[in-house]
Structure 1
Amino acid sequence: MKAVVVVESWFGNTREIGEAVARGLTVSGVQVEVASVDEAPAAVDGDVGLLVIGAPTHNRGLSTADTRAKAAEAVHRPVGSGAREWVASAILPDDLNLAVFDTTNGRGWLSGSAAKAAARILSGRAPGRSIQTRTFVVRGMAGPLRPGEVEAAEAWGRSLATVTR
């Protein structure tokens, strides 16, 4: 059983959640690779049973070139590509199980969801495929994560392990 976790993270919170999901998968016997969206493979191997994608919510959805530029400036890093572009272009096996999470500093419809935006793109590429989504909350724009979110991510990872069997 193999899984890949692809993460876009600017302040480290989304990466922390992605690593927690990976720990949950690992303790459940799944072999996991975690990669930043800039390092993620253009094609997911056919022996991978689960793809988990994580992204921060920017302006009620996935990041754009403009919102990434602002985030990159805030953390003094070069602007990279985002989950939006990777999700739209990655070559995915037909039988791949999909899960998407986001981090946001709010809850409810007003804050939007990068996970739901990514799931819409993926659904358009693979109609009828079930895609699990989950949101994790960050305090403020840069964090830290709300207490209990890392543990919730590990638990979600353990539950996702059942779809890779």
Structure 2
Amino acid sequence: MGRKQVDPVVQGRVLELLNLKSSEIKIISQVRKDNIKILRATICRIKKRKDISGNNKKKSNRKRWYVLNNRKIHSLKEMTASINPPTQKNIAKRLKCSQHTIWYHIHNTLKLPTRKKGYVHWLTGKQILKRKQMSLKLYRLLNKSKWTKIITSKKTWFYIDNCNG
């Protein structure tokens, strides 16, 4: 079974209140004063039909760009002026805004050229220190293998250390 059709009188009253920019709850309370019961879903359905019919103005898709204050724009300028600038994603994390905002301000506000940066495995100082400490044990373990056993014609054993050849 299909939905019940909304009475044209009720629909007209709801549209009238929608044109006055009343909220759905206010519309329900106004219609109840007229002894008419209506659901919020019905009001939403009437609102959608109104939108589809083209009675309302089209909303512009133009979005407002996130505005950075002068301090953040100055720090953005300093970050991008360096020899090896961070990626837009990293800059956005530091300035606590979206990556698209950073892109917009680099291109339009600062009018700077951009570079295509590939992902590079970059170690921090802490990571380098950890690697040195951990690899020292491994180096000592592998260093023992530099000693080699060689058999001479006299069949005596001796060891060669730091052999360059």
TM-score > 0.5 by shorter chain: no
* Structure with bigger RCO (C-alpha 8 Å, 6+ apart): 1
Give the structure with higher Rg (CA).
2
The structure whose residues are more often helix, as a share, is 2
Q: TM-score, normalised by structure 2?
A: 0.22
